């Protein structure tokens, strides 16, 4: 089900193509080994995770591969548009490449990339609803860039993005802490079930 559209005073309707340059990626031929194994990310939908930023990729290409790929600058917003429609992330490198399963937006001066990221993430159900209903859902570039949203001015975009970024960073910090505690627990379990507490008087009680 698509998200309900809410009209807010002074917010105006804009299509995704108004946000900036929209493009679909390509994949350098896998038959040419000279294209692969370099330092540049070749981003695919599997690299779009719950993380806001795309820090790594499953595939990397060389300078030669980059010459035949479609490239993006830092802070481009990438959206999965084949299969798992709506997965999203922001590029972190000065230059990277992306495959044909992704549509990318390089925002112009009137739009904030962080705001666009949060907007499209929030509106993922709408993106999914616009995908062609076939065996493998597809949201082609033309349909993608013509999706329309209510959008505020740039100052408000930045304000909204700043608030959501603070919250997301707090969540990420808690998730990192939980991961460390789980690792500590695994180590403690391994030790306790092989060595015990070395004290018969020690009792374990539930809090």
Domain boundaries, the chain: 12-152
Pair 13, 142: CB distance under 8 Å:
no
3-state SS, one letter per residue, for the chain:
CCCCCCCCCCCEEEEHHHHEEEEECCCCCCCCHHHEEEEEEEECHHHCCCCCEECCCCEEECHHHHHHCCEECCCCEEEECECCCCCEEEECCCCEEECCCEEEEEECCCCCHHHHHHHHHHCHHHHHHHCECCCCCECCHHHHHCCEEEECCHHHHHHHHHHHHHHHHHHHHHHHHHHHHHHHHHHHHHHHHHHCCCCCCCCCCCC
pTM of the model: 0.83
Write out the chain's pLDDT in tens, 207 residues. Answer: 444 555 677 899 999 999 999 999 999 999 999 999 999 999 999 999 999 999 999 999 999 999 999 999 999 999 999 999 999 999 999 999 999 999 999 999 999 999 999 999 999 999 999 999 888 899 999 999 999 999 999 999 999 999 999 999 998 889 889 999 999 999 999 888 888 887 555 455 544
Find residue 53's DSSP bridge partners: 90
Record: fold of 12-152: Adenine-n6-DNA-methyltransferase TaqI; Chain A, domain 2 (3.90.220)
């Amino acid at each position: 089900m698509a998200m309900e559209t809410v009209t807010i005073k002074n917010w105006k309707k804009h299509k995704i193509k108004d946000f900036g340059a929209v493009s679909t990626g390509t994949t350098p031929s896998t038959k040419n080994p000279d294209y692969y194994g370099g330092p540049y990310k070749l981003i695919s939908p599997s690299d779009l995770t719950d993380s806001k930023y795309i820090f790594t990729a499953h595939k990397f290409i060389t300078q030669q591969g980059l010459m035949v790929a479609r490239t993006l600058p830092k802070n481009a917003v990438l959206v999965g548009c084949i299969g798992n429609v709506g997965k999203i992330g922001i590029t972190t490198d000065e230059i990277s490449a992306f495959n044909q399963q992704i549509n990318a937006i390089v925002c112009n001066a009137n739009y904030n990339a962080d705001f666009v990221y949060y907007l499209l993430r929030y509106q993922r159900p709408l993106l999914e609803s616009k995908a062609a209903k076939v065996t493998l859902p597809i949201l082609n570039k033309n349909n993608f860039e013509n999706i329309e949203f209510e959008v505020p001015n740039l100052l408000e975009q930045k304000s909204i993005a700043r608030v959501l970024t603070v919250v997301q960073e707090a969540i990420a910090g808690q998730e990192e802490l939980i991961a460390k505690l789980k690792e500590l627990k695994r180590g403690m379990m391994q030790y306790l079930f092989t060595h015990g507490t070395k004290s018969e008087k020690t009792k374990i009680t539930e809090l």
